[in-house]
Amino acid sequence: MSWHRWRGLSPSTWAGAAIVLVFLLVAFIGPWIAPHSPLDADVDDRLLPSGPGHLLGTDEDGMDVWSALLYGARLALFISGSSVVLCAAIGVTIGVLAGYYRGAVEEIAMRVVDILQAFPGLLLNLAIVAVVERPGPGILVFALCLNGWVGYARVARAQVLSLREREYVVAARAIGASAPRVMFRHILPNLVSPLLVQATFGFGGMILVESSLSFLGLGPQVPYSWGAMLEKGTTWLWSTSTLVMAPGVAIALVVVGFNLLGDGLRDRFDPKRRI
């Protein structure tokens, strides 16, 4: 894609992209540059204020808050990234098949989508992880994917219903191209733009849901999850606000960054705004 297509992006989009890039960089190199391990807590250093040895201080267990944030970024990226990739793969597959074949395939797929959308998403996630004694990242990803794919399926189906009637698709079918070839060569490439926008918003949403579940004690059983750090910090809110502000600001910035980037990509890929 040529550079001139990106020159008109708004400053808010570039700000969102910068936040996302910083988050990705921290997630990849954070554990290597962290001054302490979040698992090596020392009760003698509990609730220390910000200082040279502990940039953001320590929590009630003596865990270095700055190091925990760096480790938590990688955990957040793993859970949200895995969930988005799996949701996109499942949703796109079901949506493309439903939109291309129509009939009974579409009816069954869309009724399943309607049923899953009838349940509040967070409550369904809670119901799944609550039955597991110690839910790990794998269980959490499964819970997020159970209903997270429906949005991708709806977007993919809507796009396919339009694309399947285009001249080049009709021509491909007329010369004998098989259904899998038509879908992979002529339909899927045209789904990249809307699905990229959907996935960008999905990243922020998954991080927010994971943090909410961890805040309730139903996330990965590690002390450096951003949601778990936020929950622990509420106990000492009136003593030191850093324990709440650090993970809270991190969650808010990352979610806002992905949302700003998603808004910009949606405007850029809108056919009515194409030059």
As beta bridge partners, residue 181 has: none
Three-state DSSP state, 58: strand
Give CA–CA dist 31/73, Å, rounded.
Answer: 9
Give CA–CA dist 231/244, Å, rounded.
Answer: 8
22-26, 39-43, 62-66: which is most confident: 22-26
Give CA–CA dist 192/74, Å, rounded.
Answer: 26
Q: What is the mean pLDDT of residues 3-13?
A: 68
Give CA–CA dist 128/48, Å, rounded.
Answer: 37
Largest CA distance in the chain: 76
Name the DSSP class of 241.
Answer: S
Task: Return the pLDDT at 88.
Answer: 95
- What domains appear along the chain, each with residue ranges and CATH number? 10-23+56-273 (1.10.3720.10)
First to last CA, the chain: 13
Are 4 and 263 in contact, with CB atoms under 8 Å apart? no
Q: What is the mean pLDDT of the chain?
A: 86
Give CA–CA dist 128/145, Å, rounded.
Answer: 11
Give CA–CA dist 44/64, Å, rounded.
Answer: 12
Q: How confident is the model at residue 275 (pLDDT cuts 50, 70, 90)?
A: very low
Give CA–CA dist 1/137, Å, rounded.
Answer: 36
Are 103 and 53 in contact, with CB atoms under 8 Å apart? no
Say which residue, 237 or 196, is predicted with more confidence: 196
Instruction: Quick: pLDDT tens for 77-97.
Output: 999 999 999 999 999 999 999
Q: What distances in angstroms separate CA 96 from CA 11, 103, 147, 166, 254, one per listed residue?
A: 34, 13, 17, 15, 31
Site of tokens 């939109």: 99
Q: How confident is the model at residue 247 (pLDDT cuts 50, 70, 90)?
A: very high
Cα 109 to the chain's mean position, in Å?
23
Cα 151 to the chain's mean position, in Å?
13
Name the DSSP class of 176.
Answer: T
Q: What is the mean pLDDT of residues 184-200?
A: 89
Q: Which of 199, 190, 239, 186 is nearest to 88 (CA)?
A: 199
Q: Which of 161, 159, 172, 186 is nearest to 269 (CA)?
A: 159
Give CA–CA dist 163/167, Å, rounded.
Answer: 9
**Which two tokens mark 165?**
């009637």
